[in-house]
Amino acid sequence: MKLSPAALAVSAAFVWGAAIFVIGGINSFVPGYGDAVLSLVVSIYPGFDADGSLGDLLLGTAYAAFDGLAAGLFFALLYNAVAHFASPASEATRSLDAESESTFAPADEQTPAPQGELFPEPTDDPQVEDRTEP
């Protein structure tokens, strides 16, 4: 199974950005809420002070969304690389799938089934080889 780097990047950006927005927004109305998280984020994102102003909240949200985007993209690419090399069965499965696609013709190119009896009765006459009707 492969992860979609774009989908994971956008999802992580949304989740982390929304988390910082919600924590910062609640902290504006309830002082002390999420102080540990916000002090950690303040130490990482330059210019973000978590002072409760709308501009500062939007700046922290933008930093968090970009951070989530980069982390989600990196994680998906790393996961896909490790999964590709760590799964020897997947290589065997891919080679079998490629073989079966080249061996069998698509349904519209297959020869039609012969008309006549599905299970002809056996005969003792060695001269009779084909008992299908024209």
d(CA 9, CA 73): 5
Other C-beta atoms closer than 10 Å to the C-beta of 48 total 22
How is the chain split into domains, by residue range?
Answer: 5-88
Token readout for 131 is: 């008992």
* pTM more than 0.75: no
d(CA 88, CA 100): 19
**Residue from 8, 43, 37, 33 nearest 20 by CA:** 37
Q: Up-side HSE of residue 6: CA atoms within 13 Å toward CB?
A: 0
pLDDT string in tens for the chain (134-residue length): 899 999 999 999 999 999 999 999 999 999 999 999 999 999 999 999 988 899 999 999 999 999 999 999 999 999 999 998 887 665 555 555 555 555 555 555 555 555 666 666 666 666 656 555 55
For residue 1, give the DSSP letter: -
d(CA 71, CA 93): 31
**The pLDDT of residue 91:** 55
